[in-house]
Structure 1
Amino acid sequence: MNIVASQSEQYPEDSREATATVKVMLHPDIRIFTMDFNMNKTMEQMKQYFAARLKLPPNVLQLMLLGRIIENSVTLWNLGVKPHETIQLDMFSLDEEQFPIISSKLLNEYYMPDVITVRVQTDSDTFQDLLVSIKRPSFKKPFLGGFRHKETGMEYHHAGSQTIPKKCPEKGYIEYCRSTQTVVERKKLLQTRSAASTQMTKIGVYMSNITDKLIEPKGYVTADEYHARRLQAVIVIQTYFRRWHAINVVKELKEQLRLRLEWEAEEERRLQREKAERLMKEYNRRMVPRTKDDFELLYHALELWRLEELERIDNTLSGAERKAALCALLEKEAQLIASIGRHKLNADEVNQQKAIMSFLEKCAEPKRWKAFDGKITEMDTQFTLRARELLEIYRSISMQDLPTDERLDVLLTLKHTVKEHECKLTHEIIELIDREADLMMRGVKECNLEGLRKRICTLFLQYIKTPFFNPEVARLLKVPPDPIKLYHNIYFCLGCKRYLPSTDFAISGSSHSIGRCHLCCKLDNQACKREAFLKYKRMLRSLRQSEVNYMDGAKIAFVLQLQDLQYMVENFWNSQSAISAWGDLYDLVMVRWDKHVEWSPWNTILLRNDEAESHLKLKNLEKAYETVFIHRVKHKHLLARNYFSQFPELGEALHKADKLACSNDLLVTKPITPGPSKSTHKEG
């Protein structure tokens, strides 16, 4: 049964601007949203209001009253609601699968409600709840100009907010009297310096009156009339001047508005372009993976797909069909993992050749140091020249599709180079070089020589990595020539049961012991969690770079590891900006809360890039932010203190900061540091 508006029903003229309180219950979340609406507001207008905030099309929303559907043309007056009364409606979505109603979209946005409930104490033991409507001002108080005192800096505004004039103190006597404002009159005869006479017409004398002027006496002008006329002239002058000034101000404001709009449009296009480039880059990284981070993104996308498919199967199927679907999902997942493995083999082959060339180029680099004037000085030694010569030979023998004559020249150069040393390795390289030259002279195809050429490259690379033949390579080898050095910084991996150097372990500030190596942690992540840490790596890299730019000896940001930063972002800051609640981690950065103090988990704030730039420009945080916001940030700092104070390195830094604060006579509330935990972290 539908509720249809009656065309004949009218409402009084004095109630056209009246409002009523509407409580809308959002289904299926069962959340109530209260707003004030005009009495002549139709259901269609209310749907458009909620559709704009829920980001849904208006035609999928349905309003009901006591189980009956309300037509779009029905108003609150048609429903029998009187002014300032309350009515409760139910809102549903006609297509909950594609357009579900998510009440959190309304509740996440902070706004001042139109109606609030106030509890009033009417008696000693009696309380009454009253509904109070909030009336917002419809205009802004105009600013009519003013001036600023040069010495005191105080600002005075005209007309709209003029200050009360200061009263002069009474001196006890009259300053304005007749005796001080009048002059004593005197009579005295004086003789002018030059005598003057006037000739008039008379009998026998004619005086022409052509040049005479007739002067008529006019009315007496009082001082008030004179000043009034002057004031009127001043007003006319000020009117034209203000009109001219207003035209210039409006032109300047229009120009500023145009420039601002152009800047905002360009900034919006830049952000969209950067986001599109980032999405395209991620897409290319998933389609053609090359690095470890690329494969992390692939495994993370695989896990998201698996969870979505698993949820769909659990919601739609049951019994034998569910088991069959789970088996098919498992087979599909195995196929995808195998496909990722094939991509990984191809990427390892390409990356291996790049790593070899990078290693050889580092060996061939000249020695560099910075002089006192800031210039970089480079110097080649006999060892770097030797390494550069071997690099050029390796690069030549690794080239494909060389003509036969050039290939023979390269092999001859390689043969003369390795002949300088007599050992089993050089004899084997020379034997392979002779074999390839013989086969090339016999006209063997290049595809049949591919394996032989790879063996020559491999053996020559082994020759280059030998410190006796290439002394410069000794400083870059992972395994030092001296076996005694292997006994330092070597730890046992609990996962793969191998002894590895300390650089192969991920040790965070919260770790109490050595756990598993990087490889074991990566395999465990690919098999179980399949998390992607690329966003946190970018955030940690940005944090450390900003701390380096301060040049104040900051250390805590470099002690903190990736797992510690991830724990802070997810548990303390809820993975969103503290100001705007922006949740895209690609746009968030960690900066100092107080820029004059070293960064630490208890002196940080998570913000967007533009918000971070504005935050670092502030001079007084107490004046810039509200008290509630400052307390909320301080609470997160207190949680970080309590969590990181139990770890040795960070706890020591925390105690130093507290001692420094006490020495400056600052009142600091210290968290209670718990004792050492018996459980140890096995993962870095």
Structure 2
Amino acid sequence: MARKDLYIDNHDDKIITSQAYFTTEELLELKRQKALAIQCFIRQCFAWRKVAAYYHAKRTKARRDAAAKALAEKKLKEEEEDRIRRRLNPRTKSDFTALYSELREWRHNQEKAIRGLNASEEEQSQLMKELLAKEVKLMQTIDKLRQRANSANKQEAIKARLELMASPKEWLTDQGDYIEVVTPYTTRASELVQLYNGLRLRKIPVEQRIDVLLNVKFTVKEFDCLLTREIITLCNRENDMINRGRSTTSLNGLRRRLENLFLQFIETPEFNPGAKNFQRAPAATTKLTKIFPKVQTELWTRKNP
């Protein structure tokens, strides 16, 4: 309370007036309303999450369905391309079985169509003859494809066998790792395989072809038998024909025979020890691979230097 002898600073004083009285019931009602607001917000958050998860699952399913559809279309396309390839270029037994099955089905449908025509017996007989001629022609085509496939499969099998024969051996170490080991057998096989591949080359210069023939000749000359003599004779004959300027077409038969004989030389264990592991049964020495005595070898060498 202000007095004359007392100074009281009321510069920062505030006038506080009492507000309306807040009862307990009103406080509980306020808490209830705030709880309802919080519950509404939480439920809204849950709803947003549920909607987001729904759309995410929908988009994921759409992408998965699109990928599955694309994969199925790709698979169907590959199967169709494979069927076309098997028709145009059959290689396996199942391919030819499918071709013969389609041929029988085609003939059955053609016969059914001919019988359904309102034609006389003579006309139907003529149509059946034409159908038979077409069938024979198609069977001849399939037989040619079979021969071509057998030849290609045989060459692939020979190539795989020779590559395996010339490849380094894999040995298992104590640490569990594999190391490649080059043995004298694999080295010998690798040299022979390189010569065989050189013989199979066609579009090479004449000088390189003559070098290959000379290498083959001196390689087989280490062993004197009927097989090696035949190889040497063919090498000399081809060399002579090349020097005479004969065409490549006239040398095809000679070269194929030389390739086959040299392949037989490679697959003979007496000349290539590495070939022993690739034989189904121990091969007996034949008349072609029997080594001649030294006297006969010297006599033959004088006549065929």
5+ long unaligned stretches in structure 1 = 1-198, 201-207, 484-684
- Counterpart of 1:423? 225
Q: Which of 438, 444, 453 is 2:255 aligned to?
A: 453
Whole-angstrom CA distance in 2 between matches of 1:425 and 1:220: 123
The change in CA–CA distance for 1:290 and 1:219 in structure 2 (over 3 A counts) is closer
Alignment of 1:76-91 (within 5 A): none
Counterpart secondary structure, 1:438:
helix
TM-score (norm 2): 0.79
Whole-angstrom CA distance in 2 between matches of 1:217 and 1:258: 57
The change in CA–CA distance for 1:230 and 1:442 in structure 2 (over 3 A counts) is same
Q: Are residue 290 (structure 1) and residue 91 (structure 2) matched?
A: yes
Deviation at 1:322, TM superposition (A): 4.8
Q: Figure out how many residues of one structure are paired with residues of the other and give that number.
A: 275
- Counterpart of 1:259? 60
AA aligned to 2:217 is K
Q: Deviation per CA, 1:382-403, whole angstroms, max 9, x where unpaired?
A: 2222111111101001100221
AA aligned to 1:378 is E
- Counterpart of 2:150? 348
Q: Are residue 235 (structure 1) and residue 36 (structure 2) matched?
A: yes
The change in CA–CA distance for 1:260 and 1:309 in structure 2 (over 3 A counts) is same
Whole-angstrom CA distance in 1 between matches of 2:27 and 2:265: 110
Whole-angstrom CA distance in 2 between matches of 1:239 and 1:281: 62
Whole-angstrom CA distance in 1 between matches of 2:92 and 2:19: 106
The change in CA–CA distance for 1:316 and 1:212 in structure 2 (over 3 A counts) is same
Alignment of 1:119-518 (within 5 A): 211-215=14-18, 218=21, 220-222=23-25, 226-316=27-117, 320=121, 322-481=124-283
Whole-angstrom CA distance in 1 between matches of 2:22 and 2:211: 122
Deviation at 1:338, TM superposition (A): 1.0
Name the stretch that deviates more: 305-314 or 282-291: 305-314
Alignment of 1:38-117 (within 5 A): none
Counterpart secondary structure, 1:422:
coil
Deviation at 1:319, TM superposition (A): 6.8
Q: Deviation per CA, 1:249-269, whole angstroms, max 9, x where unpaired?
A: 423432332233123212211
**Which protein has the bigger helix share?**
2
Deviation at 1:217, TM superposition (A): 5.7
Whole-angstrom CA distance in 1 between matches of 2:211 and 2:170: 34
Deviation at 1:481, TM superposition (A): 1.7
Whole-angstrom CA distance in 2 between matches of 1:452 and 1:211: 126
AA aligned to 1:277 is E
Q: Deviation per CA, 1:221-255, whole angstroms, max 9, x where unpaired?
A: 43xx5434322211112212322342244234323
Q: Highest relative contact order (Cα 8 Å, sep 6+), 1 or 2? A: 2
AA aligned to 1:215 is S
Q: Deviation per CA, 1:559-617, whole angstroms, max 9, x where unpaired?
A: xxxxxxxxxxxxxxxxxxxxxxxxxxxxxxxxxxxxxxxxxxxxxxxxxxxxxxxxxxx
Counterpart secondary structure, 2:62:
helix
Counterpart secondary structure, 2:180:
strand
Larger CA Rg, structure 1 vs 2: 2
**Which protein has the bigger strand share?**
1
The change in CA–CA distance for 1:434 and 1:260 in structure 2 (over 3 A counts) is same
Deviation at 1:370, TM superposition (A): 3.4
Deviation at 1:443, TM superposition (A): 1.9
- Counterpart of 1:130? none
Whole-angstrom CA distance in 2 between matches of 1:319 and 1:421: 74
Whole-angstrom CA distance in 1 between matches of 2:144 and 2:19: 117
Q: Percent identity?
A: 33
Q: Deviation per CA, 1:148-201, whole angstroms, max 9, x where unpaired?
A: xxxxxxxxxxxxxxxxxxxxxxxxxxxxxxxxxxxxxxxxxxxxxxxxxxx79x
Deviation at 1:374, TM superposition (A): 3.6
Whole-angstrom CA distance in 2 between matches of 1:237 and 1:463: 93
Question: Alpha carbon RMSD of aligned pairs, Å?
Answer: 2.8
Whole-angstrom CA distance in 2 between matches of 1:250 and 1:425: 84
Counterpart secondary structure, 1:368:
strand
Counterpart secondary structure, 1:231:
helix
Counterpart secondary structure, 1:298:
helix
